[in-house]
Structure 1
Amino acid sequence: MAGTAKASSRTILSGNRGQRRTEIEHAYDSRGRISHTTDRGDLAKTDDDTCTRYEYVNDDDKHVYTPQKAGGDADEGV
């Protein structure tokens, strides 16, 4: 199941302050595991975006497919 999934939300703010829109996108590898996440945070702001990449240890002989590390930020790109 390689591919992407995106979720968006809208929150009505109190005190007649309008609304906040947010968005997050997940990309998946061929095993259906998350390969990276792009969190755009508040879409009205550009300084709150983050990107996290995930790497896995794959040992087909032992059927071990575990997360190795996660890290990154929006400056690294996806």
Structure 2
Amino acid sequence: FQQTITLEHASTFSKMAPAVAVKVVEKLMKTYNISRSLAVQVVNIAPTSPEEMRTILDARSTSLTQEQIAEIVEFVTKSRAE
């Protein structure tokens, strides 16, 4: 019963398909050299603006440029549509 509720919740609130999320995490790690945990956090939150992305990054020290942040936001936004 609890698994059913968990699955329903995940399906309702997930922002992208699991297979797409895995690909996005891998690309973020490879392209932008960020940790898996940060990449997963980006996918889970799926920021829609550079400001929102910077908020996610504030808690961690990263050397991403403003251009890279904008690229990540654009990539995550496009991936949500898949």
**TM-score, length of structure 2 as denominator length:** 0.23
User: Greater strand percent: which structure?
Assistant: 1
Instruction: Determine which structure has greater relative contact order: mean sequence separation of CA pairs < 8 Å that are 6+ residues apart, divided by chain length.
Output: 2
**TM-score, length of structure 1 as denominator length:** 0.24
